[in-house]
Structure formats: structure tokens, C-alpha cells
């Protein structure tokens, strides 16, 4: 059964939403360029300084690639985990719900930086000796970051589930639908729509949190840039303004990644918008 | 069609239903009245097992339905229910609300369910609103969609839990009209309502329930005009005004 109504008004509303999102994207690009031009003017540097990029480029490319890789691993993993834990949390069976409440409290109540270090130190020792090595420590740390974000996302999804009025579940049951059918066709479609805005928030955070992996030697944008910065100090004829250029570029990459993610979720939010399931706007 | 035998229900230390027995014949419309907290909603929910009775037996069309061998899902397909707060599925249009049961529970294909849903929406006077979302409908329209949604399962009987209590006065009539025509067509109905006009003109019997016990039962005009019990008299005088 198609969920979207093929009403004329619905379609035109969506078109205008897509248009406004395009306008917004254009505004952001222009705004960012203007902001960088202003920075360059104020501090007297050029972001396309050839002498820096000659040194920085290989590391930069590798770093961007690494950050993309870690994000691509952590984001889907944490969403799947967070969603699963969110469902488990609303279970009426305490044996199911209680352990996950502890899980959430633990991972939400510890700084992600500490979690990363801890995972790196302890993780490998939990496995047989032949698996030991730096890569394994990193893998465990990636998993730990995913857990950390999943604990926040679980609460996002739980709030989504619990925002669906109980009466609708009763109505589904009254039609003869079983628990899983009611979940799939009545609760889930509404809970997911309600979860999208706070989920975008959390995914933006976790993309930036991948930079914490640099402390245990991950090759990501933050890590490689720090290495390059150290080396620049010993490069003959180095220019202090190079640092400014580098970190502007780094910030720009994280900005593009997180904004891309939040815009994608905003697109989903608008694509599946239904009157009556929405945040209030004034 | 519906028979309840000595139904007991506790919520914690609260003894909500204290051995209620009730029978609704095929094609009969029975109205339940009673003060809030008297257990009338719980009694209604015991019929389709949204609330499981602690003791007592529920029969629908001769089948002992609160028996371990019968699944609640099967029971609820036999009996439709309409709620005080409509409970339409917010993310679905009016017609999708009506189609959901036949498609997901009976396994009908979408075309068959759609044509049936169209008929039912026309029957409750809402053919033109098929593609509207619940948020775009008035309370009265939502409740009529909810009635169509329940009818889509071809129930043997219908339960109404204060279907007009949440409505603005101007929308009450249209919902009662739909219910009246349903009763005239011979639907077996168990209705919790305080609409005296509806009870008088449609119900064959009226039951007054208080504190989990049936206090009085009889023809509606009898109970309204010549209540035998003091508690009935006190309650009726409050709602008749």
C-alpha cells in the first residue's frame, strides 16, 4: 500500500520543499566562500597557497579518505545498534530492557575520548594473542565510538516510539493485528519520522567525533594534519600562516561532511512529511 | 451474539469488574451507561480481549474466546471497535486507514481493499475525503472514518466506547446518524454512551453499571423515567438535566 498520498497539494508542497532546500544549499556555499574570503583578507593568507599544498596535499587526501572511511563505518553501525537498543528499551520485559539501560548509562556517561583510549588499551587483550596489534585496537575503538553514539541514538528512537499515541496501538490491535504487525505498520512509520530531526543532530556529532581516533594513531584528517603541523615547524622557509590555511581546510571538510548528513536527513524528513506528525513551527 | 459470564477484573488493588454478566442478542443494540470509573470501558475491552478478564467467560457467536486455544487476534477480527479518541493512524490517509486491516490482517490485495474502503467511506458520507490525512479532518469526520475502518473487517458485532464524548457538539449528530443507520441495518452493537436520545431511539436495552456491578437494566425509557434503584436515579438525574 502506498503511504504517500497522490494528492495534488501534497506534490506541489514537496516540490517547493525541494526547491527551498536547493536555495538553502546555494546560500550555504556562497556564505562559506564569503566567510573564507573574509578570513583571508583579515589574516592575509590564501587558502590555495601552492607552496603549502605541495607539502600538505598527499596527507590531506589520505586524511579525508580516512575520515570518510571511519564515518562510513561508525554511522551505519551506530544507527542499527541505536535503533535495536531503542526498541529493546521499550520492551515491557525487564530482562530485556534493564541491561540496555545500563549500557546506555555507561556509554553516555563517559567522555568519548576516554572511551576511545580505554577501548584501544583493553580491547585487544580480550581476544587471543594471534589477533593482537595496532589495527585491532583501532577496530575496537571504532566499535566503542559506535556504541557511544548508539547510546544517544537509542534514546532518540525510544522517544520516537513513545511519542506515538498509545491509542493507535490499541486501534491496531482492535483490528486484529499482531504485535509485530502493529509495530511495522502503525508505530514504526510514525516513530521514524519523529526521530529524524534529533537523529541528524547526533549523526553530525559522531562524524566529528571520529577525529578522536587520531589520539590512538588512526589515519584520519585530524591526525594527519597534526602530523603535518609538527613537520612544518622543521621545514625550511615555513610560513606561520600555513597553519591557518591547513586548519581552515580541515574545518571546511568537517563542515561539508556534517552539513551533508544533516541535509540528507532534512530531505528525508520533508520527503516523508505528513500533516499531523511534525514539530511545531511558529 | 456476545455473552459475558461473571467477569472479574482487577487493576492492582482495584476491583474494577465484580462479576458482570451480560448478553447481547444478534442484531440487538445495547447501551451501557454509568459514572466515570465505573468499569464500563473495561467491560467493553473485555469483549475483544484488549483487557483480559481475570475470571469469567466471554462468548462471541457461541465461541468461548478467552480460552487459551483462541488467539486474541482472531477474536478482534470478529468484533469491531470504535474509540472515544478516534485513534486514526496519523501517517495514513482516510482510505489507507480503512484499507490497513483488510490488507494486513485478511491479506487482501490493495485493489480489493481499496474498492471496499471506498464503499465504506461513501457509506459514512466521506467519499470526498478519501485522500485526506486525519489532521485535515474534523473530529466528526475522523470518528466516521474510524467506524468505516472497523467495518472494513466485516465484524459480527461492534463495540463503541463513548464515541461522541470527545466531539464538539456540532459534530455529534453526524456520528450518531451513522451509528443509528448501522443499528437499523441489524448490526449487533454494544455502546457505552451518555447520549440519551440515541439510547432511547436505537437501544433495545440499557444497562446501568456502577463500581463494577450492574445496578439496573431495562428498556431505555423505563430506566430514564422510572429508575428502580437509588444510585440509578441519582446518576440519571445528573445526566438528563
Per-residue pLDDT band for A18 (boundaries 50, 70, 90) equals confident
- Per-residue pLDDT band for A233 (boundaries 50, 70, 90) equals confident
Q: Judge whether residue A1 has pLDDT over 50.
A: no
Query: pLDDT (tens digit, 9 = 90+) per residue, A26-84?
Result: 898 999 999 999 988 898 888 888 888 888 999 999 999 999 999 999 999 999 999 99
pLDDT above 70 (res A200): yes
Q: Which of B83, B89, B102, B136 has the highest number of chain A CBs within 10 A, making it the mutation to test binding with A?
A: B89
pLDDT given for residue A9 in this prediction: 46
Nearest to A120 by CA among A146, A147, A142: A142
Residue % of chain A over a pLDDT of 70: 90
| DSSP-H helix ranges across A4-49 | 8-43
Out of B48, B99, B135, closest to residue A276 by CB: B135
Taking alpha carbons only, the member of A204, A247, A221, A255 closest to residue A32 is A255
Are B73 and A6 an interchain contact pair (Cβ–Cβ within 8 Å)? no
Q: What is the pLDDT of residue A125?
A: 75
Beta strand B55-60 with B2-11: parallel, antiparallel or unpaired? antiparallel
pLDDT digits (tens, 9 = 90+) for A147-183: 999 999 999 999 999 999 999 999 999 999 999 999 9
Nearest CA in chain B to A168: B87
Per-residue confidence (pLDDT) for residue A194, from 0 to 100? 92
Q: How far is B93 from chain A (nearest CA, A)?
A: 7
Report the alpha-carbon distance of residue A173 to residue B73 in Å, rounded: 7
State residue A167's pLDDT score. 94
B98 touching A (Cβ < 8 Å): no
Q: Is the pLDDT of residue A136 over 90?
A: no
How far apart, in whole angstroms, are the C-alpha atoms of residue A253 and residue A221?
9
Grid coordinates given for B23: 448478553
Residues of A in contact with B80 (CB under 8 A): 174
| Segment holding A275, helix H or strand E | none
Chain A partners of B143 at a C-beta cutoff of 8 Å?
A: none
Contact (CB<8Å) B92/A3: yes
- Return all residues near A145 (Cβ < 8 A) that are at least 6 apart: A74, A78, A112, A115, A116, A206, A209, A210, A212, A213
Task: Please report the pLDDT score of residue A23 as a whole number.
Answer: 87
Max distance between CA atoms of chain A, in angstroms, equals 78
Neighbours of A154 (CB within 10 A): 26
What pLDDT does residue A51 have? 83
B100 touches chain A (CB under 8 A): yes
Phi/psi region, residue A58 (left: phi>0; alpha: psi -120 to 50; beta: rest), is alpha
**Residue B230 to residue B185: CA distance in whole angstroms:** 36
CB–CB contact A276 B74 (8 Å): no
Give CA–CA dist B163/B154, Å, rounded.
19
Query: Which pLDDT does position A274 carry in this prediction?
Result: 87
- Ramachandran region of residue B123, left (φ > 0), alpha (ψ -120 to 50) or beta? alpha
B102 interfacial to chain A (CB closer than 8 Å): no
Instruction: Indicate the SS3 state at residue B57.
Output: strand
Distance CA(A163)–CA(A165), nearest Å, equals 6
- Which string of b and e fits B57-81 if b means at least 16 CB within 10 Å? ebbbeeeebbeeeeebbebbbbbbb
Buried b (16+ CB within 10 A) or exposed e, B83-114: bbbbbbbbbbbbbbbbbbbbbbbeebeeeebb
Q: What is the CB-side half-sphere exposure of residue A277 using CA atoms within 13 A?
A: 31
Across B196-205, average pLDDT: 91
- End-to-end CA distance of chain B: give it in Å, rounded: 34
Note the Cα A38 to chain centre separation in Å.
Answer: 29
Task: Check pLDDT > 70 for residue B216.
Answer: yes
Q: H-helix or E-strand containing A129?
A: none
- Calculate the average pLDDT of chain B: 94
Q: How far apart are CA B191 and CA B135, in angstroms?
A: 26
Long-range contacts of A266-270 (CB under 8 A, 24+ apart): A266/A21, A266/A200, A267/A18, A267/A21, A268/A196, A269/A193, A269/A196, A269/A197, A270/A14, A270/A17, A270/A18, A270/A21
For residue B210, the model assigns a pLDDT of: 93
Residue B130: per-residue pLDDT: 96
Do A223 and A191 touch, CB atoms closer than 8 A? no
C-alpha cell belonging to residue B119: 464503499
Distances (CA, A) of A239 to A46, A52, B188: 12, 9, 89
Three cell numbers, residue A276: 499531523
If you count them, how many residues does chain A have? Answer: 282
Within 10 A of B222 (CB to CB), how many other CB atoms are there?
A: 14
Mean pLDDT of chain A: 87
Q: What is the pTM of this model?
A: 0.85
Measured distance CA(B49)–CA(B68) in Å, rounded: 12
Report CB contact under 8 Å: B76, A175: yes
pLDDT in tens, B69-127: 999 999 999 999 999 999 999 999 999 999 999 999 999 999 999 999 999 999 999 99
> Under an 8 A CB cutoff, do B76 and A5 touch?
no
Residue A1 DSSP code: -
Interface A-B: count of C-beta contacts within 8 A:
93
Amino acid at each position: 500500500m502506498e503511504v504517500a498520498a497522490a494528492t495534488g497539494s501534497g506534490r506541489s508542497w514537496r516540490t517547493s520543499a525541494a526547491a527551498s532546500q536547493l536555495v538553502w544549499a546555494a546560500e550555504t556555499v556562497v556564505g562559506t566562500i564569503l566567510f573564507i574570503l573574509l578570513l583571508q583578507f583579515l589574516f592575509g593568507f590564501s587558502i590555495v597557497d601552492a607552496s603549502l599544498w605541495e607539502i600538505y596535499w598527499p596527507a590531506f587526501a589520505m586524511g579525508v579518505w580516512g575520515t570518510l572511511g571511519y564515518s562510513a563505518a561508525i554511522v551505519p553501525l551506530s544507527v542499527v545498534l541505536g535503533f535495536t537498543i531503542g526498541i529493546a528499551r521499550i520492551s515491557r520485559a525487564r530482562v530485556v530492557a534493564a541491561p540496555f539501560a545500563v549500557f546506555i548509562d555507561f556509554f553516555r556517561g563517559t567522555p568519548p575520548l576516554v572511551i576511545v583510549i580505554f577501548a584501544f588499551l583493553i580491547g585487544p587483550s580480550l581476544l587471543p594473542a594471534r589477533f593482537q596489534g595496532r589495527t585491532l585496537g583501532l577496530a575496537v575503538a571504532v566499535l566503542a565510538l559506535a556504541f557511544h553514539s548508539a547510546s544517544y541514538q537509542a534514546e532518540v528512537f525510544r522517544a520516537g516510539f513513545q511519542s506515538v499515541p498509545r491509542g493507535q496501538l490499541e486501534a491496531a490491535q482492535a483490528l486484529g493485528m499482531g504485535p509485530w504487525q502493529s509495530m511495522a505498520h502503525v508505530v514504526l512509520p510514525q516513530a521514524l519520522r519523529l526521530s529524524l530531526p534529533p537523529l541528524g543532530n547526533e549523526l553530525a556529532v559522531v562524524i566529528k567525533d571520529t577525529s578522536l581516533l587520531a589520539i590512538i594513531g588512526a589515519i584520519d584528517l585530524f591526525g594527519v594534519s597534526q602530523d603535518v603541523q609538527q613537520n612544518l615547524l622543521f621545514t625550511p622557509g615555513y610560513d606561520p600562516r600555513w597553519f591557518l590555511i591547513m586548519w581552515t581546510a580541515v574545518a571546511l571538510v568537517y563542515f561539508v561532511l556534517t552539513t551533508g548528513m544533516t541535509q540528507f536527513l532534512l530531505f528525508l524528513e520533508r520527503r516523508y512529511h505528513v500533516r499531523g506528525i511534525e514539530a511545531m513551527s511558529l | 451474539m456476545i455473552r459475558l459470564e461473571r467477569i472479574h477484573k482487577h487493576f492492582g488493588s482495584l476491583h474494577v469488574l465484580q462479576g458482570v454478566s451480560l448478553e447481547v442478542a444478534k442484531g440487538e443494540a445495547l447501551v451501557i451507561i454509568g459514572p466515570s470509573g465505573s468499569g464500563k470501558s473495561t467491560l467493553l475491552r473485555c469483549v475483544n480481549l484488549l483487557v483480559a478478564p481475570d475470571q469469567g467467560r466471554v462468548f462471541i457467536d457461541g465461541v468461548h474466546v478467552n480460552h487459551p486455544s483462541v488467539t486474541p487476534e482472531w477474536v478482534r477480527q470478529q468484533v469491531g471497535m470504535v474509540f472515544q479518541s478516534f485513534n486514526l493512524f496519523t501517517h495514513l490517509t482516510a482510505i489507507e486507514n480503512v484499507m490497513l486491516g483488510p490488507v494486513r490482517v485478511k491479506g487482501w490485495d490493495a485493489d480489493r481493499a481499496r474498492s471496499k474502503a471506498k464503499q465504506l467511506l461513501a457509506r459514512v458520507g466521506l467519499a470526498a475525503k478519501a485522500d485526506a490525512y486525519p489532521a485535515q479532518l474534523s473530529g466528526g469526520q475522523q470518528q466516521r472514518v474510524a467506524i468505516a475502518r472497523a467495518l472494513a473487517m466485516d465484524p459480527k458485532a461492534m463495540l463503541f466506547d463513548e464515541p461522541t464524548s470527545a466531539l464538539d457538539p456540532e459534530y455529534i449528530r453526524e456520528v450518531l446518524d451513522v451509528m443509528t443507520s448501522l443499528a437499523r441495518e441489524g448490526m449487533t452493537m454494544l455502546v457505552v454512551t451518555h447520549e440519551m436520545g440515541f439510547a432511547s431511539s436505537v437501544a433495545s436495552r440499557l444497562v446501568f453499571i456502577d463500581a463494577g456491578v450492574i445496578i439496573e437494566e431495562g428498556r431505555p425509557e423505563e430506566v430514564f423515567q422510572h429508575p428502580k434503584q437509588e444510585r440509578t436515579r441519582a446518576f440519571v438525574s445528573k445526566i438528563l438535566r
